[in-house]
Amino acid sequence: MSAFTTTCEVRWADLDLNGHARHTAFMDWATHCRIRAFASQGVTTTRFQELGVGPVIFREETDYLREVSGDDRITISFEFAGASPDWKHFRIRHLLTRQDGVHCATVVVRGSWFDLRQRKVVVPPEAIVRACEALPRSSDFEVLVSGQR
């Protein structure tokens, strides 16, 4: 299955004083893609609230490869690069590409599912598990062992 993708316009607010995308804009675009990917499987932000469970990110790494300016549109891909067998822990990789086809950044996040009432990491409910299983996996997908993120 090919990666899920979405596209974002670079907004004025995404730029720094040098006229190129600020570092946090890349993370915002990756977050937007993750939310859109889950929504494509019926797990919208409203559904997360109803389930009382949401994603919590423990680590976010970005490799900045090429400049992004205010005239660009960015395509962001989503693939699971790893997960524990019960989907409690996950690793997601995003590739960010400019409209000219240039790969400008890679964002990798590691996280888990967080119960909003109990305030702890949990195995996700069945609706989230189904969404995870339906979303694309990378060719180098890794099964994460307990405690590994």
Q: Could you give the number of structural domains in the chain?
A: 1
Instruction: Give the pLDDT confidence of 98-116 residue by residue, as tens digits.
Output: 999 999 999 999 999 999 9
pLDDT surpassing 80 at residue 148: no
- Single-letter residue type at 3: A
Which of 71, 80, 76 lies closest to 96 in space, CA to CA? 76
Instruction: Give the pLDDT confidence of 45-63 residue by residue, as tens digits.
Output: 999 999 999 999 999 999 9
pLDDT surpassing 80 at residue 89: yes
- Asked, for residue 115, whether it belongs to a domain, the answer is yes
pLDDT surpassing 90 at residue 92: yes
Count, residues in the chain: 149
Domain CATH number, residue 125: 3.10.129.10
How many C-beta neighbours within 10 Å does residue 64 have?
Answer: 15
Q: What is the largest CA-CA distance in the chain?
A: 46
* DSSP string for residues in 8-25: EEPPGGGB-TTSBB-HHH
- Asked, for residue 148, whether it belongs to a domain, the answer is no
**How does DSSP classify residue 14?**
G
- pTM score, two decimals? 0.94
Arithmetic mean of pLDDT over the chain: 96
Note down the domain range covering 87: 4-143
